[in-house]
Structure 1
Amino acid sequence: MEFFFEVLIGGLLAGVMYSLVAIGFVLIYKASGVFNFAQGAMVLFAALTFVSLLERGVPFVLAFLVTLAAMVALALLIERAVLRPLVNRSPITLFMATLGLSYMLEGFAQALWGAQVHGLDLGIGDEPLEIGGLLLSQFDLFAAGTAAVLVAVLSLLFNKTRIGLSLRAVADDPLAALALGIRLQRIWAVVWAVAGFVGLVAGLLWGARLGVQFSLSLVVLKALPVLIIGGFTSIGGAIAGGLIVGASEKLAEVYLGPFVGGGIENWFPYVLALLFLLVRPAGLFGERAIERV
């Protein structure tokens, strides 16, 4: 039983890493209805910029602030130059725009910083830590704590501030919000800037875990089942979806892997997501679409 709880808690902590990427999707989708496939490239760009600055002798705090400024500027530029001209276009057009944008960002990052693999050390070890008789990863505990702080800050921002109230109004009914004098472009700019910050946090944690390399952008694929399970419009759903995906894939690998072969954790989340699509297409916390004819 002790081994079961170690696997379960380890999976829950790993799932928090998936949630960090999924939160970036939720923020943009909730505000503008755009599924930003370029979020993975933004995670890569953030990690690559930060580690490249460190390797050039820039102090840690200054490198973080410069990377944060670069990510906010990049997010604002994307919103202004790419997505704002495509307002009111079909969802497939917006999706294809962000898909093309992801490849452009990867190419720009390669031209700017090179294509070599970098190691990223945040000063947090990955040695097991014994808590209550269970061995847990120090890095996973740190990532979980970071995610908790990030979610708390985002909750305060979107529930207790004027910008947050405006965002909720835009998410509920963009036309009504526009009629009340809410500037949609300003809200979209703020959301994209926040998504850039979330991409930076996710990029640093994933870069420290996997190394800073171009395959890091593929972490976006693991966020898809998280979004399907939790819902595309809920930050809490992104956290819940990440926990479910992380725990289920680890338990499946340990207890089902010996019967069906190794590597089950690579595809099991997608099977789970498919089941959710059949039973609850909107996800656990997603908003069901109601169309009146």
Structure 2
Amino acid sequence: MAFFLEALFGGLMAGMLYALVALGFVLIFKASGVFNFAQGAMVLFAALAMARFAEWIPVWLGLDNKFLGNLLAFICAAALMFVLASLIEKLVLRHLVNQEGVTLLMATLGITYFLDGLGQTIFGSDIYKIDVGMPKDPIFLLDSIFEGGVLVNLEDVYAACIAALLVVVLSLFFQKTSTGRALRAVADDHQAAQSIGIPLNRIWVIVWFVAGITALVAGIIWGSKMGVQFSLTTVALRALPVIILGGLTSVPGAIIGGLIIGVGEKLSEVYIGPMVGGGIEIWFAYVLALVFLLFRPQGLFGEKIIDRV
């Protein structure tokens, strides 16, 4: 039982990180109808900015306080993501309004390669470390119930709590603020939102900035665990099955889908992997997503599209 709980907790924590990346896809698609293939590149770019600013700022300002240095680095990286969101809206989205979906998709692919190259040019292409003070040591839980307790990585616990907190903040932002309600109005109907005076251009900047903040948090967490390297762009590929499961237009779906994928990967690798020679964790999520595409393509919480002829 303890072994099962270890795998379950590990899956839930990994699932929260998948959900965090998937949120970037969902937020942008809901507000602009763009499937943002650049989300993985945004994660890498934001993580690179955080890592390098955390190195440069203490030197520039002569700071010895690590917490203050990391805080200033986060603020600078967030400001950079806002500038990036503004430039994407002004130089790309504004000129592609009402274009075909494949045109917008190709535009996000172009943004992906541009960000990859820009990140290397500005910040370098080495492997960088992000140290925000998250503990690395594992801990034992429930040792009074199970012999030896349940081994849990404390860094994963912190990361999952941060991801969950960001999800709660985003949910409150969308439900309780006037800007959040405007974003939901744009998601429901662009033309109706424009007719009541909601400026689409400003809304797109906000939603791309919010997606950039989620990318920054995800990049910090993954960078703290693995180091900031260009394989971080593949994190977005891990989020694709999540949004297929949860639905491309559903924020709760991204969360539930992430947890299902995280738990399913861990449990299948632990219990089924030995029977098939291992490696099931690599393809499990994609097979599950394929099943959903065949039988429920809109996902668990996505809107079912009915065409009337």
TM-score in terms of structure 2 length: 0.92
Cα distance, 1:228 vs structure 2: 0.3
Separation in 2 of the partners of 1:154 and 1:268?
A: 29
Q: How does 1:41-190 map to 2 (within 5 A)?
A: 41-58=41-58, 59-132=69-142, 133-190=149-206
Q: Partner of 1:274: helix, strand, or coil? A: helix
Asked if the contact 2:243/2:253 (under 8 Å) is kept, the reply is: yes
| Structure 1 equivalent of residue 62 of structure 2 | none
Is 2:292 the partner of 1:282? no
Q: Which of the pair has more CA radius of gyration?
A: 2
Pairing 1:192–2:242 present? no
Amino acid at match of 2:21: V
Instruction: Describe the SS at the equivalent of 1:87.
Output: coil
Q: Tell me by how many angstroms 1:57 deviates.
A: 4.6
Matched pairs, number: 293
**Runs of 5+ consecutive residues of structure 2 not aligned to the other structure:** 59-68, 143-148
Structure 2 distance, partners of 1:128, 1:74, is 37
In structure 2, do the counterparts of structure 1 residues 115 and 193 end up closer, same or farther at CA, with 3 Å as the change threshold? same
1:245 aligns with 2:261: yes
Structure 1 residue 184 displacement after superposition: 1.4
Q: Please give the per-residue CA displacement for 1:158-178, whole angstroms capped at 9, x wherever unaligned.
A: 111111111111111212222
Query: Aligned to 1:56, what secondary structure does the other structure show?
Result: helix
Cα offset, 1:203, TM superposition: 0.7
Q: Alpha-carbon deviation of 1:104? A: 0.6
Aligned-pair RMSD on alpha carbons? 1.2
* Aligned partner letter, 2:155: F
Q: Provide the rounded CA distance (Å) in 2 between the counterparts of 1:252 and 1:264.
A: 7
Deviates more, 1:255-264 or 1:22-31: 255-264
Alpha-carbon deviations, 1:222-250, whole Å to 9, x = none?
00000100111111111111101110011
Q: Aligned partners of 2:154, 2:136: CA distance in 1, in Å?
A: 5
With over 3 angstroms needed to count, the CA separation of the structure-2 counterparts of 1:292 and 1:80, relative to structure 1, is farther
Moved more, 180-189 or 151-160: 180-189
- Cα distance in 2 between the residues matched to 1:131 and 1:279: 40
- Give deviations 1:101-152, integer Å, cap 9, x for gaps: 1011000110111111112222112322222232211111111111121111
2:224 alignment partner in structure 1: 208
Please give the per-residue CA displacement for 1:185-208, whole angstroms capped at 9, x wherever unaligned.
Answer: 121111111111111111100111
* CA distances 1:43-67 after superposition (whole Å, capped 9, x unpaired): 1011111111222253111111111
How far apart, in 1, do the equivalents of 2:93 and 2:202 lie?
A: 13
Identity, % of aligned positions: 59
1:286 & 1:136 partners in 2: Cα distance?
33
Partner of 1:13: 13
Aligned with 1:136: secondary structure? strand
Instruction: Indicate conservation of the 8 Å contact 2:20/2:167, yes or no.
Output: no
Q: Distance in 1 between the 2:129 and 2:73 partners?
A: 15
**In 2: Cα distance, 1:278 partner to 1:158 partner:** 31
Query: d(CA) in 2 for partners of 1:120 and 1:193?
Result: 22
Q: Of 237, 240, 243, which aligns to 1:224?
A: 240
- For 2:25 and 2:197, locate their aligned partners in 1 and report how far apart those are by CA, in whole Å: 26
The SS at the match of 2:92 is: helix
Amino acid at match of 1:121: D
Cα distance 1:290–1:172, how it changes in 2: closer, same or farther (>3 A)? farther
Distance 1:189 1:55 in 2: 29
Q: Which moved more, 1:24-33 or 1:160-169?
A: 160-169
> By how many angstroms is 1:285 displaced?
1.0
Aligned residue for 1:158, secondary structure, equals helix
* Residues 50, 130 of structure 2: 8 Å contact kept: no
> Mean Cα displacement is larger for which, 121-130 or 189-198?
121-130
